[in-house]
Amino acid sequence: MSEDGIAAGVGRTALLLASARAMETGRSGLVDDRFARLFVLAAGAPSGLPVELPAEETGTRQFWHDFALGAGLRSRFFDDFLLAHDGGQIVLVAAGLDSRSYRLNWSAGTKVFEIDQPAVLAFKGHVLADEWAACTRCVVPVDLREDWAGVLQRSGFQPGEPTAWLLEGLMPYLSPTDVETLLDRITNLSAPGSSIALNHFSGIRSAPPLADALDFDVLALLQVEDQPDPAELLHRRGWSVTRSPSRDIAALYDCEQSWRKKRLDVIGTGVTGTK
């Protein structure tokens, strides 16, 4: 595929997160993602994104520092969630350039389904063509606003088995109606013993550092309508839910001090649930 494809539209936000993980790798020990750098470098100039923190006190240094730390913390939080389901069936919903299928130490029998837009998964496949996944990896190229449940099942997903679902960094791109439909589909496909994790933002459209530091208008990609609280939506669908504000996630990994100084929160509230 054209390297420009990933840098266009909402796919570019997957590159943005890869850039943050590349910067955080080797810095704090929160995330060790050697693939993140490969994605950003493969996308080349159209992405305009860094793979290392700006060394000097430039205007955007604080932004990238906050972004990288937040990406590291949220990666670690969700890594730990998924590793608790090692050996089972996992679905990365809007996987983007998440390299967990490759970088985590999975036991035999772990099956990971990665759902995202066809252009994003094609770019990922192209960059990782010479790499071996550490689990059984199945790509499911679909638009999540369509009826993707059948495509997932035709890819080998077993609805009778407990599943761990991860929706990392997805909510801001879906309308309230799309979120409701998505959670209905996930709930219908979730056998007893399943679990879910996601992060949720309120007021992200008014986060000024986001608009100032990037050379593309990420705010234009976000949904304008107020998002419903996904914890509440999951509760209504029978899930037992826990909320973890970003400061609690930072405290969990001994990063309270650095997190308190941040101006930008790319974690939001972590929501985990069991069925």
Q: Residue from 5, 6, 7, 13 that binds ligand SAM (CB under 6 A)?
A: 13
What six digits make up the tokens of 245? 């504000």
For the segment 40-59, give every residue that binds ligand SAM (CB under 6 A): none
**Judged by CB, which is closer to ligand SAM: 72, or 169?**
169
Give the SS3 label for residue 138: strand
- Distance (Å, rounded) from C-alpha 251 to C-alpha 248? 5
User: Which contiguous run of DSSP H or E holds residue 92?
Assistant: strand 89-93
* DSSP string across 107-175: PTT-EEEEEE-HHHHHHHHHHTTT---SSEEEEEE--TTS--HHHHHHTT--TTS-EEEEE-S-GGGS-
- The residue within the footprint of ligand SAM, chosen from 143, 147, 232, 254 (CB under 6 A), is 143
**What H or E segment, with its residue span, contains residue 132?**
none
Among positions 30, 40, 68, 94, the unique one binding ligand SAM when judged by CB under 6 A: 94
70 binds ligand SAM (CB under 6 A): no
Determine if 19 is a binding residue for ligand SAM (CB under 6 A): no
C-beta of 14 vs 91, nearer to ligand SAM: 14
Identity of the amino acid at 241? V
Of 39-47, 91-99, 156-164, 224-232, the segment contacting ligand SAM by CB under 6 A is 91-99
Going by C-alpha positions, the residue among 85, 54, 58 that lies closest to residue 68 is 54
Q: Smallest distance from the beta carbon of 174 to ligand SAM, in angstroms?
A: 6
Q: Is 210 in the site for ligand SAM (CB under 6 A)?
A: no
The residue nearest ligand SAM at its CB is 96
273 binds ligand SAM (CB under 6 A): no
What is the 8-class DSSP label of residue 51? Answer: S
Is residue 120 close enough to count as binding ligand SAM by CB under 6 A?
yes
Which of 11, 72, 230, 268 lies at the binding interface for ligand SAM (CB under 6 A)? 11
Instruction: Look at residue 100 and give its three-state secondary structure.
Output: helix
Q: Is residue 114 part of the contact set for ligand SAM (CB under 6 A)?
A: no
5 binds ligand SAM (CB under 6 A): no
Per rule CB under 6 A, is residue 144 in the interface with ligand SAM? yes
**For residue 112, what is the enclosing H or E element?**
strand 111-116
